[in-house]
Chain A
Amino acid sequence: MARNSNKINSKEVKIDVHYLTRVEGHGNIVVDVKQGKLAKCEFQVIESPRFFESMLVGRSIWEAQHITSRICGICACGHSLASIKAGEDALGLVPSEEVISLRKLLLHAEIMDSHILHIYFLVAPDLLGIPSVMPLIKTDRPIVEMALRMKRMSDYAGEVLSGRHIHPISYVIGGLTQLPSRDGLEKLYKLMLDARKDGEKTVEILKKLKFPEFQRKTQYMSLTRKDEYALYDGNLTVNGESETGAINYKDLLRETAVEYSRAKIASIKGKPYAVGAIARFNNNFRQLNEKARRAAGEFGLKAPCYNPYLNTAIQLVEWVHCLEESIKIMEKILKSGLREDKIVTNSWPKRSEIGRIRYKPNTGIACVEVPRGSLFHDYSIDERGNITQANCVIPTNQNMGNLEEDMRKLVPELLGKRTQGQITLDLEMLARSYDPCISCSVHLLDVKFVNS
């Protein structure tokens, strides 16, 4: 890491952050300023490719959820849900309302879990000027305990609903393999009610921290629905316009190869775009519940927001939204109970029938809003139900081009005002504010391995 230069008016700035820390996966930031001009500005994804799309070929559609969950340890539930929905689309299955409501609950839990991890463990240390949350264990133990308690609440939700949060077990095509236990649901409901005050306290803490100032308007893409803050389903929207069904995603967005990174750069109408909390907030502010809108007010956040650093604050607004929505769903479940016949299903067809079943060859496409943005799964199956083609489009890939555009605007604004060390930190923080999930992004495309 080149952080040693303290010259402010340097015309030569060379930044090479190898293995960016406090992000999920491996990425480098490379910036090269020659004679005051930005010669190079790249976010390089260097994680090894994983070949999920190739692994899926020949596999049964009934195990796609199990396999694709393993793309990412943070958004395992999101991958599972996108996979299940795509599988159902290919098989022509429609789950019950009860199942959909349990899926929304799991998705809310995962968004809360991921956002709290990002806010406290990955971003807050930057704002506090410390290298990680570890020193806080000694200096501010109650805050660390609160962060872990909030994390534990959403993680427990994964346990109660699907057996575990990382690589959920019981959520499958068609329904759940077993009902969540009544005891577990009641305990979870209590934890959720208790979490409200932790949420309020977190708003207070985050409000006092200063996010860097930076503005760049871009295209914001997310799912959208008139009747709710779209997460589980909806139509694709860009800056409130050009709505289309998720099934037409290939008409809307394009992915292009770049030389230096294992992730493709995505674009809409030839330009980069942003997905994730900030995009959802900008497109769907009106659908946020009242408490979430109030939390946004605490940060002075208004839609549209053009400061990517504020993505972290918006994540907290979404956390508040998801908690309140989860409490509503939980109250309904606890009041009316869960009907086994509407929910419980086997994870695979019967053993005595599986070899004989013939399917209609088909393609299934689905999109889910996961913590970092719109996630697409797209599979084709043959008559035995085996996958013949698979494609997954990941939020981090979609954000990559936008992050670089931000860096290209930001670096010249900082030259002459900040030292190389400060610029490096500003860029690291910018990359982290996108909450990049690099494990996810690298199954897609790589051109060259960067060894710096």
Chain B
Amino acid sequence: MRKTKPRVAFFDFTDCEGCQLQFANMGEGLLQLTELVEIVNFREIMSEAGQDYEVAFVEGSITTESDIKRIQEIRKKAKVLIALGACAATAGVNGMKNRFPLELAKSRVYGDKAGTVNTIASLPLHKVVKVDYFIHGCPVYIPEVLQVVKCVLMQKPYALPNYAVCVECKMNENVCRYEKDQECLGPVTRAGCNSWCINNGNRCYGCRGLVDNPAADAQKDILLKYGLKADEILQRFNLYNDSLGEKYGQEFK
């Protein structure tokens, strides 16, 4: 049988679609990519909707019952399913919705029409289907995306960095945010972004999720020492993390 290019499809659930746009922003790199793979389904820029694909890049969080059915269908067809970006990999900012009782969130935004809104808690993809590759970040970092694409093409697993953003930040010779009387989630956040936000003078917001064993207690102590209230510290942590309130829901209360 003749070896053909892998057929790739892009799908999006609840999100801003910024991660798939990162592909469009690759410029010429996108053309090179189309030489390696065949894109058969990419609703944002294509009307062709190929249903015959091997690799599915899936962006966004699961937030309705019908999303669940749709992602299950995609999983059935795809040999390889990739969670593209924070919303798919950890629920991302959508996870903040889960901090409030759904009824309150609905009534805040939809007022007296709240009763008719169909929504469930925001879920990352792996809570519903098996995910083969995770690409973290809000948005995804293209050099890492390309690494994962290489792994997919070579049918090898991608080893997520399991060290903190601080490691990359030090290599980039940034002055530590704590030295500058700032806060930063770099010490507890999974690396892989090349300390993107700190390189640009901001701080780490934790969009890539926490490392496997974050020193959360030490981080909390530092923040408490500077007069932050427990709920504010929790907010620093949960802008991106712990969308289901499994890890840090109680400790800070």
- A residues contacting B by CB (< 8 A) are 19, 21-25, 47-55, 57-60, 63, 66-67, 70-74, 76, 117, 121-122, 125, 131-134, 137, 141, 144-145, 148-149, 151-152, 155, 162-167, 169-170, 172, 176-178, 257, 344, 346-348, 350-352, 354-356, 439, 443-449, 451
Considering the complex, give the chain A residue whose CB is closest to the CB of B92: A70
Residues 167-204 of chain B, each 1 if its beta carbon lies under 8 Å from chain A, else 0: 00000000000101111000000000000110111110
Contact of B45 among A22, A50, A257, A350 (CB under 8 A): A22
Contact of A132 among B47, B67, B182, B228 (CB under 8 A): B47
| A351 x B178 contact (CB < 8 A) | yes
Can you report 9 residue pairs joining A to B where beta carbons are below 8 Å apart? A54-B109, A63-B239, A70-B138, A73-B18, A117-B24, A137-B34, A166-B25, A348-B182, A451-B66
| B14 x A48 contact (CB < 8 A) | yes
Task: Please report the C-alpha to C-alpha distance between residue A271 and residue B38 in the assembled complex, in whole angstroms.
Answer: 46
| A49 x B227 contact (CB < 8 A) | no
CB distance from B22 to the nearest CB of A (A): 6
Classify chain B's interface size. 35 or more
Given contact pairs A163-B196, A443-B109, A155 touches B27 in the complex (Cβ within 8 A): yes
Query: Top 7 closest A-B pairs, CB basis?
Result: A73-B18, A355-B227, A177-B201, A178-B201, A163-B200, A152-B27, A132-B46
CB distance from A72 to the nearest CB of B (A): 5
| B227 x A354 contact (CB < 8 A) | yes
Contacts of A23 in B (CB 8 A): 44
B219: CB under 8 A from chain A? no
Within 106-126 of B, Cβ neighbours of A (below 8 Å) are at 106, 108-110, 113, 116-119
| Overall SS of chain A's interface | loop
Contacts of A47 in B (CB 8 A): 14
| B93 x A348 contact (CB < 8 A) | no
Contacts of B138 in A (CB 8 A): 70, 167
Considering the complex, give the chain A residue whose CB is closest to the CB of B67: A48
Given contact pairs A72-B16, A73-B18, A50 touches B117 in the complex (Cβ within 8 A): no
Given contact pairs A21-B49, A24-B17, A257-B113, A163 touches B199 in the complex (Cβ within 8 A): yes
CB distance from B213 to the nearest CB of A (A): 24
| A22 x B16 contact (CB < 8 A) | no
| A131 x B182 contact (CB < 8 A) | no
Contacts of A155 in B (CB 8 A): 25, 27
- B residues contacting A by CB (< 8 A) are 13-22, 24-25, 27-28, 30-31, 34, 39, 42-49, 63-64, 66-67, 92-94, 96-97, 99-100, 104-106, 108-110, 113, 116-119, 138-139, 178, 180-183, 196-197, 199-203, 205, 226-229, 231-232, 235, 239
Contact of A134 among B46, B106, B118 (CB under 8 A): B46
Contact of B24 among A76, A151, A167 (CB under 8 A): A151
Contacts of B64 in A (CB 8 A): 48, 449
CB distance from B83 to the nearest CB of A (A): 16
Considering the complex, give the chain B residue whose CB is closest to the CB of A67: B93
Task: Please report the C-alpha to C-alpha distance between residue A227 and residue B110 in the assembled complex, in whole angstroms.
Answer: 39
Contact of A444 among B31, B39, B109 (CB under 8 A): B109
| B108 x A71 contact (CB < 8 A) | no
Task: Please report the C-alpha to C-alpha distance between residue A133 and residue B44 in the assembled complex, in whole angstroms.
Answer: 11
CB distance from A171 to the nearest CB of B (A): 9
| A21 x B46 contact (CB < 8 A) | yes
| A351 x B18 contact (CB < 8 A) | no
| B118 x A449 contact (CB < 8 A) | yes
Considering the complex, give the chain A residue whose CB is closest to the CB of B119: A49
Contact of A49 among B16, B39, B109, B180 (CB under 8 A): B109
Contacts of B45 in A (CB 8 A): 22, 121-122, 132-133
| A51 x B47 contact (CB < 8 A) | no
Task: Please report the C-alpha to C-alpha distance between residue A164 and residue B140 in the assembled complex, in whole angstroms.
Answer: 11
Contact of A166 among B21, B43, B181 (CB under 8 A): B21
Interface centre among B27, B34, B138, B239 (most CB of A within 10 A): B27
Contacts of B44 in A (CB 8 A): 21-24
Contact of B201 among A125, A149, A344, A444 (CB under 8 A): A344
